[in-house]
Amino acid sequence: MEVSSLSKMVALLVLLLATFTTLSLGQSNRGGGGGTRVGFYSSTCPSVESIVQSAVQSAVQANPTIAPGLLRMFFHDCFVNGCDASILIEGASTEKTAGPNSLLRGFEVIDAAKSQLETACPGVVSCADIVALAARDSVVQTGGRSWQVPLGRRDGLVSQASDTANLPAFNDPISIQITKFADKGLNTQDLVTLVGGHTIGTAACLFISVRLYNFNNTNGPDPDINQAFLPQLRALCPNGGDGLRRVALDTGSVNSFDSSFYENLRNGRGVIESDAKLWSDRRTQRYVQGFLGQAGSRFNAEFGRAMVKMGNVEVKIGTQGEIRRVCTATN
């Protein structure tokens, strides 16, 4: 082969490789997950995990309801424009003011951790990474298994209440739930696993009452509710009663991170409609079955895996975001 022909082939191969690499990097950044890694702050802020862990531990010991609040916060943040701490921004018509986020709690824990981190290593740790770590630590504080959290997210610059419309709702049919998760790159197994976060925490009666008294405009209860469980729920949420009264999502185990949530679903003791449907629909039931009985020990490991996957949804890296000085406002 002539030298000139060989040179042209080499040049063409280099060009193709460069093009492929550029496309791959672009896809990685858009798809989420490009840029985050375990140990991201090992040299720039080695105390980050211990500082966040201490803040979460103190808060949960003082008030156990903070743990599910921090877990929900991470979920609600990642589902709206990715895991970028946009849920923390305060102001008119921000995500924080939207109906689905109105009952979230634990914001003060994120602020406390951020304040300490700004003293220890100013301008280094993003609020988005603090939210991700706090979610993991809230699980650990309630008896769940730890997992390694990839870090390196940047904080988002936009927060709009209108963007929360895609958050999964308490009465979404399974088909809608599957679609909403798929839109974030999460499959049906991820859906069933992540909803298992309801093993800790409570729901307000206003999200339950329709199931108890006028399901699908029938003037009766949801037939999927265990008949022995129905009077118990009605006693907690009387018709016309206080809509803000709280009810455990995992009856008998409200503060323990375990697989009993799925046992309750199988037994017709799911509290909110969207949870209960996980057992009555064949597309999700098989994954619920995978967490029952002795197989329940798999739940902790699968939950950590799914949290890492969700934590890489549409993350912002490099110049796509910033490191906020305070978590409640952009710089």
Active site residues: 76
Helices (H) and strands (E) in the chain, counts: 13, 2
Q: Is the Cβ–Cβ distance between 201 and 195 less than 8 Å?
A: no
Of 85, 189, 157, 64, residue with least CA distance to 127:
85
Phi, psi of 48 (to 5 degrees): -55, -45
Of 101, 96, 76, 274, residue with least CA distance to 192:
274
Side chain identity at residue 234, one-letter code:
R
Of 77, 47, 71, residue with least CA distance to 59:
71
Buried-state track 43-63, b at ≥16 Cβ within 10 A, e below 16? eebeebbebbbebbeebbeee
Q: Is the Cβ–Cβ distance between 296 and 193 less than 8 Å?
A: no
Is the CA virtual torsion 40, 45, 47, 51 positive or negative?
negative
**Unique residue bearing structure tokens 């979404």:** 172
Q: Give CA–CA dist 312/35, Å, rounded.
A: 9
Within 8 A by CB and 6+ apart from 307, the residues are 74, 135, 136, 147, 194
Of 321, 320, 329, 325, residue with least CA distance to 117:
325
Q: Is the Cβ–Cβ distance between 309 and 181 less than 8 Å?
A: no
